[in-house]
């Protein structure tokens, strides 16, 4: 790729507005003070509006994924408040995944240090893999893609976390990001076809200040994250909504639930209430909520499952 600025990206859609709510399990954040003081979920929730950016003609593809420029990888920069802890796993919220090649390649997820030129991604600290078909299944089931680093990766300084994009013709991945400027400066980076890394907000790249849907589970050394079953779930309906929302717990295994939390995309807690013993359905009044995107989390002693809610 030459050194000139790329063709401007165009917004395809604010992701949730045409899709169903997505869900995923997260260990409780230590700064929430609930149950699990050993872990933080870094960068969750996504700051701003979940968005998919496409590349305008004559280019094609996606800003935060495969495109006609041959980008090799996408990553975000992480600077946690505390150091000397370990990344045990990560969650990636993909807007789409396509396997046209029929090869079903393994997709690598990597953690890099900042020892590259100009403090860009340098040495690989850890790698985990998932098949492209499993990512497609995650999207179809409404889950983020969960990636486990074994062994966990100890980090003693800021780091980068990201995904190596598929290279077979027709295979495609694209991450959800927020809207340009909802974080400033942006924290997203990309590796170009020749192997060099660039900030997504640079004049040589897209010129967009973005944060991608990449979340790191960052825990004390020696902490063991439980293995979770995706059989646990809950429903949020109607969605979108503008007055009353029903929250229905779909598995009897939810008997250890303690709390339901509602929060904004900025992380502000809007409502927290206890789940009465034995209840399988709760009704939430959202009449006073401004239009926009919100998150609803159901918490047990070991996990949180979070779904998105659109209020109109």
Number of alpha helices (DSSP H) and beta strands (DSSP E) in the chain: 1, 22
Q: Verify that 136 and 92 share a domain, yes or no.
A: yes
Q: In this structure, is residue 225 part of a structural domain?
A: no
Task: Tell me whether strands 269-274 and 259-264 are parallel, antiparallel or unpaired.
Answer: antiparallel
Q: State the DSSP code for 65.
A: B
From residue 169, alpha-carbon distances to 59, 62, 80, 100, 163 in Å are 16, 15, 37, 7, 18
Q: In this structure, is residue 155 part of a structural domain?
A: yes
185 cis-preceded (ω within 30 degrees of 0): yes
Q: Verify that 64 and 135 share a domain, yes or no.
A: yes
Q: Verify that 207 and 252 share a domain, yes or no.
A: no
Query: How buried is 43 (Cβ within 10 angstroms: 0-12 exposed, 13-18 middle, 19+ buried)?
Result: buried
The range of the structural domain enclosing residue 240 comes to 234-311
Q: In this structure, is residue 226 part of a structural domain?
A: no
Q: What is the pTM of this model?
A: 0.77
From residue 231, alpha-carbon distances to 173, 273, 305 in Å are 26, 23, 11
- Length of the chain measured in residues: 312
pLDDT given at position 228 = 47
Domain C-terminal end among 219, 253, 268? 219
Q: Verify that 257 and 159 share a domain, yes or no.
A: no
Q: Verify that 141 and 288 share a domain, yes or no.
A: no
Q: Verify that 80 and 164 share a domain, yes or no.
A: yes
Do the beta carbons of residue 164 and residue 119 sit within 8 Å?
Answer: no
Q: Verify that 241 and 106 share a domain, yes or no.
A: no
Nearest C-alpha neighbor of 23 from the set 216, 302, 295, 312:
295
Q: Verify that 75 and 158 share a domain, yes or no.
A: yes
Q: Verify that 50 and 191 share a domain, yes or no.
A: yes
Q: Verify that 259 and 153 share a domain, yes or no.
A: no
Q: Verify that 204 and 275 share a domain, yes or no.
A: no
Domain C-terminal end among 185, 219, 253? 219
- Phi, psi values for residue 274, rounded to 5°: -80, 150
Low-confidence stretches of the chain (pLDDT < 70) are 1-37, 142, 223-233, 250-258, 266, 276-279, 300-304
End-to-end CA distance of the chain: 42
pLDDT given at position 303 = 64
Q: Verify that 214 and 257 share a domain, yes or no.
A: no
Question: How many folded domains does the chain comprise?
Answer: 2
Q: How many Å apart are CA 3 and CA 12, to the nearest integer?
A: 26
Give the DSSP per-residue string, 183-223: SSS--EEEE-TTS-EEETTSTTTT-----BSEEEEEE-TT-
Q: In this structure, is residue 154 part of a structural domain?
A: yes
pLDDT given at position 271 = 87
Q: In this structure, is residue 3 part of a structural domain?
A: no
Name the region of 135 (left: φ>0; alpha: ψ -120 to 50; beta: rest): alpha
Domain C-terminal end among 195, 219, 243? 219
CATH code where residue 293 lies: 2.60.40.1930
- Tokens describing residue 66: 């495969």
Do the beta carbons of residue 1 and residue 293 sit within 8 Å?
Answer: no
């Amino acid at each position: 790729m030459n050194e000139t600025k790329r063709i401007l990206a165009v917004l395809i859609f604010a992701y949730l507005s045409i899709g169903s709510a997505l869900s995923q399990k997260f260990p409780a954040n230590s700064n929430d003070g609930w149950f699990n003081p050993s872990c933080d979920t870094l960068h969750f929730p996504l700051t701003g509006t979940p968005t998919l950016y496409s590349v305008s003609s004559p280019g094609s593809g996606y800003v935060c994924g495969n495109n006609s420029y041959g980008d090799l990888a996408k990553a975000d920069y992480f600077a946690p408040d505390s150091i000397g802890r370990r990344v045990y796993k990560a969650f990636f919220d993909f807007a789409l995944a396509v396997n046209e090649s029929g090869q079903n390649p393994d997709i690598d997820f990597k953690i890099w240090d900042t020892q590259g030129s100009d403090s860009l991604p340098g040495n690989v600290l850890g790698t985990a893999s998932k098949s492209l078909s499993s990512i497609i299944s995650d999207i179809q089931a409404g889950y983020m893609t969960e990636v486990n680093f074994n062994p966990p990766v100890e980090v003693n300084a800021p780091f980068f976390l990201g995904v190596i994009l598929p290279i077979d013709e027709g295979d495609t991945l694209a991450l959800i990001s927020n809207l340009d400027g909802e974080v400033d400066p942006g924290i997203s980076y990309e590796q170009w076809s020749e192997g060099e890394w660039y900030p997504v907000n640079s004049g040589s790249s897209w010129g967009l200040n973005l944060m991608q849907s990449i979340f790191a589970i960052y825990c004390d050394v020696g902490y063991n994250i439980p293995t979770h079953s995706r059989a646990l779930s809950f429903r949020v309906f109607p969605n979108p909504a503008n007055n009353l929302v029903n929250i229905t717990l779909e598995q009897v295994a939810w008997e250890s639930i303690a709390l339901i939390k509602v929060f904004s995309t900025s992380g502000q807690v809007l409502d927290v209430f206890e789940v009465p013993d034995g209840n399988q359905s709760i009704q939430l009044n959202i009449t006073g909520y401004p239009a926009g995107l919100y998150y609803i989390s159901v918490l047990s002693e070991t996990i949180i499952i979070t779904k998105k809610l659109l209020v109109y």
